[in-house]
Amino acid sequence: MKKFISVVLVLVLCFGLIPGSYSAALSAGEQLQDMGLLAGDLYGNLNENQYLTRSEMMVILTRMLGEYEQAYKWTRKSTFSDGAGHWSERYVAYAQYRGWTVGIGNNKFGYDMSHNVQEASVFMLKALGYTAPNDFTWSSAYTKAKQLGLFEGLNLKETDEILRGDLFEVMLNTLSTRVKAQNYTLLDKLEGFTSSYPSGDLEVQWLTTYANEIRIVFSEEMSSGALLSSNYRLDGKALPSGTVLYFSDTNKDEVIIELPDGSIEKTDTYVLTISENILSDDGERLDREHLIQIVDGLIDNTKPFIKSAEKVNNSTILINFNEDLSVFDLSDFIVKVNDNEIEIFGYDFVDDDVIKIFVSDYNTSQTVSVESIEDPDDTIDEAGNVVVGDYKVIAKAAN
Cα dihedral value 372, 374, 378, 379, nearest 10? 30
Q: What whole-number distance in Å separates Cα of residue 247 and Cα of residue 128?
A: 36
Is the pLDDT at 121 greater than 50? The verdict is yes
Q: What whole-number distance in Å separates Cα of residue 303 and Cα of residue 134?
A: 35
Specify the pLDDT at position 388: 94
- The runs of H, that is alpha helices, within the chain are 2-9, 20-24, 28-35, 54-64, 68-72, 89-97, 117-127, 141-147, 164-175, 186-191
Cβ distance 308 to 396 under 8 Å?
yes
Q: What whole-number distance in Å separates Cα of residue 379 and Cα of residue 233?
A: 32
Specify the pLDDT at position 267: 73
**Which of 9-13, 32-36, 39-43, 179-183 shows the highest mean pLDDT?**
179-183
Is the pLDDT at 10 greater than 60? The verdict is no
Q: What whole-number distance in Å separates Cα of residue 375 and Cα of residue 37?
A: 47
Is the pLDDT at 25 greater than 70? The verdict is no
What's the Cα-to-Cα distance from 217 to each of 77, 206, 230, 286, rounded to whole Å? 55, 5, 18, 12
Q: What whole-number distance in Å separates Cα of residue 286 and Cα of residue 263?
A: 27
Percent of all residues in the chain with a pLDDT value above 90, rounded to a whole number: 57
Is the pLDDT at 194 greater than 50? The verdict is no
Greater model confidence, 379 or 269:
379
Over range 344-362, report the average pLDDT.
95
The model's confidence at residue 206, banded by pLDDT at 50, 70 and 90, is very high
Cβ distance 254 to 214 under 8 Å?
no
Q: Are strands 306-313 and 396-397 parallel, antiparallel or unpaired?
A: parallel
Over range 58-76, report the average pLDDT.
85
Greater model confidence, 16 or 321:
321
Closest CA to 253 of 289, 296, 221: 221
Cβ distance 300 to 265 under 8 Å?
yes
Greater model confidence, 396 or 398:
396
Number of neighbours of residue 83 by Cβ within 10 angstroms: 22
Q: In what order do the strands lie in the sheet with 316-321?
A: 344-351, 354-359, 316-321, 306-313, 396-397
Over range 335-341, report the average pLDDT.
96
Specify the pLDDT at position 64: 84
Over range 281-308, report the average pLDDT.
87
Specify the pLDDT at position 16: 36
Residues in Cβ contact with 314 at an 8 Å cutoff, skipping those fewer than 6 apart:
361, 362, 363, 364
The model's confidence at residue 265, banded by pLDDT at 50, 70 and 90, is confident
Is the pLDDT at 63 greater than 60? The verdict is yes
Least confidently predicted of 8-22, 189-203, 214-228: 8-22
Q: What is the pLDDT of residues 126-171, one digit of tens each?
A: 999 999 889 999 999 999 999 999 999 899 999 999 999 999 999 9
On the question of a cis peptide bond just before residue 133, with omega within 30 degrees of 0, the verdict is yes
Specify the pLDDT at position 8: 37
The model's confidence at residue 67, banded by pLDDT at 50, 70 and 90, is confident
Q: What is the CATH number of domain 306-397?
A: 2.60.40.1220
> In the beta sheet, which residues pair with residue 108?
105
Specify the pLDDT at position 330: 95
Is the pLDDT at 258 greater than 50? The verdict is yes
What's the Cα-to-Cα distance from 84 to each of 42, 269, 279, rounded to whole Å? 21, 48, 56
Q: What whole-number distance in Å separates Cα of residue 31 and Cα of residue 37?
A: 9
The model's confidence at residue 17, banded by pLDDT at 50, 70 and 90, is very low
Q: What is the distance, to the nearest Å, from the Cα of residue 4 to the centroid of all Cα atoms in its chain?
A: 24
**Which of 184-198, 242-256, 293-307 shows the highest mean pLDDT?**
242-256
The model's confidence at residue 205, banded by pLDDT at 50, 70 and 90, is very high
> In the beta sheet, which residues pair with residue 348?
356
Is the pLDDT at 101 greater than 80? The verdict is yes
Q: Are strands 316-321 and 354-359 parallel, antiparallel or unpaired?
A: antiparallel
Domain layout of the chain by residue ranges: 28-195, 204-295, 306-397
Closest CA to 212 of 250, 178, 239: 239
| Correct CATH for 204-295 of 2.60.40.1220, 1.10.3210.10, 3.40.50.620, 3.40.190.10 | 2.60.40.1220
Number of neighbours of residue 162 by Cβ within 10 angstroms: 22
Q: What whole-number distance in Å separates Cα of residue 140 and Cα of residue 166?
A: 20
C-alpha radius of gyration, the chain, whole number? 24
